[in-house]
Amino acid sequence: MIAAVLTATSACATVVLSGDSGGKMEEYAARFQQVRASGDTVVIDGNCLSACTMVLGLVPRNQVCATENAVLGFHAAWMYDTSGNRVASPSGTRDLMRAYPASIRAWIARNGGLKPDMMYLRGRALAAIVKPCGDGSRTASATSAKRAGTVGRSLASGTPRASFDAR
């Protein structure tokens, strides 16, 4: 789920992504389009896996930073078939790749492309692609900030997902 933590600033809020295991791509796309339109700053401060990584292509680079705790996890998209089984979604994977900026697509290609297994981007490799957060970039903590609503997950079949969460 998208875990968002908001703090008041002069004009915008800060959205903190941490402990986010992903979910339905269209729900993340809608949420990140709202963040883009709002001008909110996004701080990646922990796990941002699966569909959560779409933030990198849907929110402008100057609105996104990553702390030293940030870990991005990428894998091929999947969906449930009519029998409730997980199956690969080539079209969902293509959509996911189209959502990423060129620098992320290049990193994925250098690491063998999107596969069912998660591949992780962190540390120096991440800092070379996503702007590191400065000391003042993270204006909120989970304990002092107001918690925002989250995007729920449904298990409808036929919807591409970029997550391996349990049913």
**6-28 pLDDT, tens per residue?**
444 445 689 999 999 999 999 99
- The structure tokens listed for 39 are 């001008």
Provide the whole-model pTM: 0.75
Of 77, 81, 111, 82, residue with least CA distance to 97? 77
- Within a domain: residue 28? yes
- Within a domain: residue 113? yes
pLDDT score of 159 more than 90: no
What is the extent of the structural domain holding 70? 5-147
- Within a domain: residue 157? no
- Mean pLDDT calculated for residue range 102-119: 97
**Looking at the 3D structure of the chain, how many domains does it have?**
1
- Within a domain: residue 161? no
